[in-house]
Amino acid sequence: MTSSSQLAPTEFSAHPGQVLHRRAHAFLEGWRASQKPWRRDRAWPLYEELERLAATAKDQGAAEIAASALELAVYLCSFVDNDTAPNPAQHQALDRLVSRFAATVDKKDAARTQREESVADGTRQQIFYLCSEARELPGLAEQLRQQHCIVRSFDEPARLILALDEVSPDALFVHEAFVDDVHRLVAEVQGKRSAHRDPTLCLVLAEETDSARTLFAQRAGADAVVTERDPIALIAHLNKLLEQRQSLRYRVLIVEDDRGQALFCESILHHRGVRTTVCADATRIFEILAEFKPDLVLLDLYLPGGNGIEIARGIRERPAYAFLPIVFLSGEQDIDQRFEAIRAGADDFITKPIKPRHLVTTVESRIKRSRELHVGQSESRALQHAYAQLKQRVDERTQELSARNAELEIAYAKLKSAQEQAIQSEKLASIGQLAAGVAHEINNPIGYVSSNLNTLQSYVSQLLGAIDACAVAFAPTNDRAAAAVVEEIRRRFDIDFLAVDVPQLLAESRAGIDRVRKIIRDLKDFSRRDRSDSWVRTDVHAGLESTLNIVLNQLKYKAQIIKTFAELPLIECLPSELNQVFLNILMNAGQAIKERGVITVSTGRSADRVWIAIGDDGEGIPEDVLPNIFDPFFTTKPVGTGTGLGLSISYAIVAKLHGSIQVTSVPGQGTLMRIELPIEQPH
């Protein structure tokens, strides 16, 4: 093909009509040279040149050439767009269109070409008839031929499928004996049919009515199951289906004041089988909408009788047209103007000058999507409600996006908090297991040390008793010499002092052992893993004492601990998790005291709840910090000395126990945290 750039020097020196004919002949030469075999990289520049030829012919008033070029371009675009090669039947159709274009360009044999095309159009209905020879309906093929149809009979599905490479049928008659093959046949036929042509009709010919067979055939893809045995009645049924399909063709309303532009759009769409009507007066648009009932509106952005954006907004405000596709036609390139049009209800934009391929693709895709939305719902309240919600979402788009961003940030913070809390819980669990193991290992030697001390105390008592008995036995009244020896021994080894001091040492050792055993018991109680599901009745004071015993080493050098416990009932809770709360608050109280201070631990009852108050006389919490102390990861400690999760975890645990935490703090004077918990958990 000779490119347009190669033709440019001649175009400036020749008559425009001659240039158009030269370009058309160059296109025809390029077409004949490039289509065997078919290649998209060759077809694409030919298609673009054909579009330019159609536009040039239209500008020069060569209406016949423009119409013929446009018809060929519309047919060709379905293959170029989908990157598919035409089958032999489609190649024949392309060759006929190219021949018509060539005859129109040469102004020769145009009448003959038109007559040939009329004959071809008269025999357009290609019908494939799948039926065994023994069951073929007598006279059917002949009657169809009399109706200017081409009928081809097949007795096997495989032969019919092979014939699809030669021609694509407009109707498919299948005897009920082959009903199991309907789905495969319909898929094969539609797969090889031109994109711009109506789908092939499929009729299953049955000998009697059978609802189950009818349902099966329709689900497989058949358009109808007919029992007529009369060929004339069967043809009448076929024509009725064709008329119904014709009435279902796409309808497009073109709102355009430029008559030439409107005719150009109509010409393109008519070649695709689309029905159109033109409205040049913006004041009549709603009247025509009601009469014509279009599937899509092509709307010029600027009209003498009204603004296209206002018209689109008016269409959208009517529930009946809530999902009617609106495509704007305009040379406007302003992004803000386009955005305003989309907010008003536009679905798409086509920029002038209009490209046939762009127009066809946009119209067909938008109508197809709209029809999918309309199936069974066009008159329903659900659709109206959906439209109202859609309109509201569009009007509040910015606000919704902001809200979603905020939600994502919150969700991310919660996820991060949950992850850190999970890690912290695992750490605590590991420490608990380690502590429990160590406590168990220590408990064994402590047990036999305690037992040995008890035995030793018994032995010492016996030994001292024996010494006293000896002293009595060798009293001066009996044997003065022996008594003197005994007295010397008592004085030398300070027996009297040992008799008093040894029992005291053993008692102190037993007290120390008991202290160690209590610490071990509290450590084991604190490290239990029954956090998730062991709701039990618990003594709050026992939990406080156990926790204080654990943290005593951290607090005894910094603070005096003052306990004021009231009489409390047992409460229903998770003991280990409640002890975790006590631990976190007591540790925070100790850290708030810089040198030496006081930590108070008080309890009480209020109606059906108990309260625990833990206070300190430390630095206190500043007012600007106080609202954030329960936030995950919030901490005022130096980097590396705190996770910021202690109070956050405590708050979550108290909430889980259906309780509350209240904080009172005065900077420089101290902080008081009051926990309230229900005696009975709500069930």
Three-state SS for 540-590 is HHHHHHHHHHHHHHHHCCCEEEEEECCCCCCEEECHHHHHHHHHHHHHHHH
More confident residue, 253 or 372: 253
What mean pLDDT do residues 204-210 have? 85
Residues 449/517, Cβ–Cβ less than 8 Å: no
Two structure tokens written together for 297: 């509106």
Say if residue 130 is in the same domain as residue 107: no
How would you classify residue 237: left for phi > 0, otherwise alpha for psi between -120 and 50, otherwise beta?
alpha
Judge if 547 and 670 occupy the same domain: yes
Q: How many other C-beta atoms lie within 10 A of the C-beta of residue 488?
A: 10
Confidence check: pLDDT of 528 > 60: no
- pLDDT computed for residue 405 by the predictor: 82
Bigger pLDDT: 467 vs 380 = 467
Question: How high is the pLDDT of residue 540?
Answer: 92
Identify the band that residue 146 occupies on the pLDDT scale cut at 50, 70 and 90: confident
| Distance in angstroms (rounded) separating the CA atoms of residues 638 and 633 | 13
Query: What is the mean pLDDT of the segment spanning 116-123?
Result: 41
> Within the chain, what is the greatest distance between any pair of CA atoms?
169
What residue has token string 């008003």? 344
Mean predicted confidence (pLDDT) in 306-312: 86
Closest CA to 73 of 50, 91, 94: 50
Q: Residue 62, SS3?
A: coil
Any idea what DSSP says for residue 493? Answer: T
What is the token pair recorded at 193?
Answer: 């049919």
Residue 503 lies in a domain: yes
Tell whether 177 and 263 lie within a shared domain: no
Residue 575 in any domain: the answer is yes
For position 248, what pLDDT does the model report?
59
Helix intervals (H) in 396-479: 397-473
Kindly report, residue by residue over 345-368, the tens digit of the pLDDT: 888 888 887 888 788 888 888 888
Residue 6 has a pLDDT of: 35
- The residues near 680 (Cβ < 8 Å, ≥ 6 apart) are 571, 572, 608
Domain harbouring 552, CATH code: 3.30.565.10
**Computed from CA positions of residues 222, 223, 229, 231, in that sequence, does the dihedral angle turn out positive or negative?**
negative
Q: Is the peptide bond before 88 cis (omega within 30 degrees of 0)?
A: no
Q: Do residues 311 and 381 share a domain?
A: yes
Calculate what percentage of the chain has a pLDDT beyond 90.
Answer: 11
Average confidence (pLDDT) over 321-349: 83
Q: According to the model, what pLDDT value does residue 115 have?
A: 40
- 3-class DSSP assignment, residue 624: coil
Say yes or no: 285 and 364 in one domain.
yes
**323 and 410 co-located in one domain:** no
Contact 100, 31 (CB under 8 A): no
Within-domain flag for 336 = yes
Q: Is the pLDDT confidence value at 513 over 50?
A: yes
Provide the CA 381 distance to its chain's centre, in angstroms: 27
**Spatial contact of 645 and 637, defined as CB atoms under 8 Å apart:** no
User: Averaged over 288-315, what is the pLDDT?
Assistant: 87
**Overall average pLDDT of the 99-104 stretch:** 83
As a whole number, mean pLDDT of residues 16-36 equals 76
**pLDDT band at residue 562 using 50, 70 and 90 as cut-offs:** very high
Q: Are residues 384 and 488 located together in one domain of the fold?
A: no
Residue 12: inside a domain, yes or no? yes
Query: Does 387 map to a domain?
Result: yes
446 and 575, same domain (yes or no) = no
Count of all residues that appear for the chain in the document: 683
What mean pLDDT value characterizes the chain?
77
Say how far residue 525 (Cα) sits from the centre of its chain.
46
Is 90 exceeded by the pLDDT of residue 257? no
Selected residue with higher pLDDT from 427 and 207: 207
User: Considering only CA atoms, which of 563, 538, 555 is closest in space to residue 593?
Assistant: 555
- Tell which residue, 362, 369, 76, has the closest CA to residue 196: 76
C-alpha dist (Å) from residue 640 to 222, 561, 591, 637, 644: 74, 28, 15, 8, 10
Residue 523, Cα to own-chain centre: how many angstroms?
Answer: 48
Beta strands in 457-520 (DSSP E): none
Q: What integer is the mean pLDDT of 379-392?
A: 68
Residue 539, CB-side half-sphere exposure with 13 Å CA sphere? 9
Whether residue 683 lies inside any domain: the answer is no
Query: What is the residue range of 477's domain?
Result: 406-526
Count of C-beta atoms within a 10 Å radius of residue 294: 22
Question: Same domain for 232 and 256?
Answer: no
Q: Say yes or no: 87 and 135 in one domain.
A: no
Closest CA to 346 of 314, 378, 304: 314
Q: What is the pLDDT of residue 376?
A: 52
Tell which wins on pLDDT, 276 or 20: 276
pLDDT for 532: 46
Report the alpha-carbon distance of residue 403 to residue 109 in Å, rounded: 70
Q: How far is CA 265 from CA 352, 482, 554, 648, in A?
A: 11, 143, 87, 67
Contact present, 289 and 326 (Cβ < 8 Å): no
Compute the Cα dihedral for 348, 351, 356, 357 and give only its sign: negative
**CATH code for the domain of 159:** 3.40.50.2300
b/e per residue, 59-77, with b = 16+ CB within 10 A? eeebeebbbbbbbbbbbbb
Domain boundary among 367, 395, 423: 395
For residue 425, how many other CB atoms are within 10 A of its CB? 14
- Flag whether 400 is in a domain: no
* Final residue before a domain boundary, out of 375, 395, 415: 395
Residues 75-93 have a mean pLDDT of 73
CA angle 300, 302, 306 (to 5 degrees): 105
Higher-confidence position of 547 and 645: 547
What span, in angstroms and rounded, lies between the C-alpha atoms of 519 and 550?
A: 7
Residue 385 has pLDDT above 50, yes or no: yes
Flag whether pLDDT at 501 surpasses 90: no
CB 234 within 8 A of CB 323: no
Give me the pLDDT at residue 674, please: 93
Tokens at 221, concatenated: 């893809």
Query: Which of 526, 547, 575 finishes a domain?
Result: 526
Is residue 475 pLDDT above 70, yes or no? no
Do the beta carbons of residue 362 and residue 348 sit within 8 Å?
Answer: yes
Name the range with the highest mean pLDDT among 138-142, 182-186, 208-212, 520-524: 182-186
Same-domain pairing of 257 and 237 = no
Tell me what pLDDT residue 416 has.
Answer: 67
> Given a cut of 60, is residue 300 above it in pLDDT?
yes
- Higher pLDDT: 388 or 116? It is 388
* DSSP SS3 for 463: helix
Backbone angles phi, psi at 201, to 5 degrees: -80, 140
Question: Per-residue pLDDT tens for 407-442?
Answer: 887 777 767 666 665 555 555 555 555 565 666 667
- What percentage of the chain has pLDDT greater than the value 70? 79
Does residue 377 have a pLDDT over 60? no
Q: How confident is the model at residue 476 (pLDDT cuts 50, 70, 90)?
A: low
pLDDT given at position 62: 78
Do residues 234 and 140 lie in contact, with contact meaning Cβ atoms separated by under 8 Å? yes
Same domain, yes or no: 216 and 287: no
> What average pLDDT does the segment 136-148 reach?
79
- Band of residue 298 on the pLDDT scale cut at 50, 70, 90: very high
Considering only residues 339 and 478, tell me which one the structure prediction assigns the higher pLDDT.
Answer: 339
User: What are the Cα distances from residue 250, in Å, to 198, 245, 247, 297, 420?
Assistant: 11, 10, 9, 11, 59
The number of domains in the chain is: 5
| pLDDT attached to residue 304 | 78
pLDDT higher than threshold 70 for residue 105: yes
Main-chain phi, psi angles of 159, to 5 degrees: -70, -40
In this structure, the strands spanning 571-573 and 609-616 are unpaired
Average pLDDT for residues 624-648, to the nearest whole number? Answer: 67
Please state whether 671 falls in left (phi above 0), alpha (psi between -120 and 50) or beta.
Answer: beta
Question: In which residue are the tokens 């360009």 written?
Answer: 105
* pLDDT tops 60 at residue 110: no
Q: Is residue 114 part of a domain?
A: yes
Kindly tell me the number of DSSP H helices and DSSP E strands found in the chain. 23, 19
Residue 41 dihedral angles phi and psi, to the nearest 5° = -65, -20
What is the number of alpha carbons within 13 Å of residue 345 lying toward its C-beta?
Answer: 26
Q: How far apart are CA 384 and CA 390, in angstroms?
A: 10
Whether the model clears a pTM of 0.75, i.e. scores above it, the answer is no
Most confident of 50-54, 120-124, 276-280, 637-641: 276-280
Rounded to the nearest 10°, the torsion over CA 67, 68, 69, 70 is 50
Tokens of 577: 């998790």
Provide the pLDDT confidence category of residue 325 given band limits of 50, 70 and 90: very high
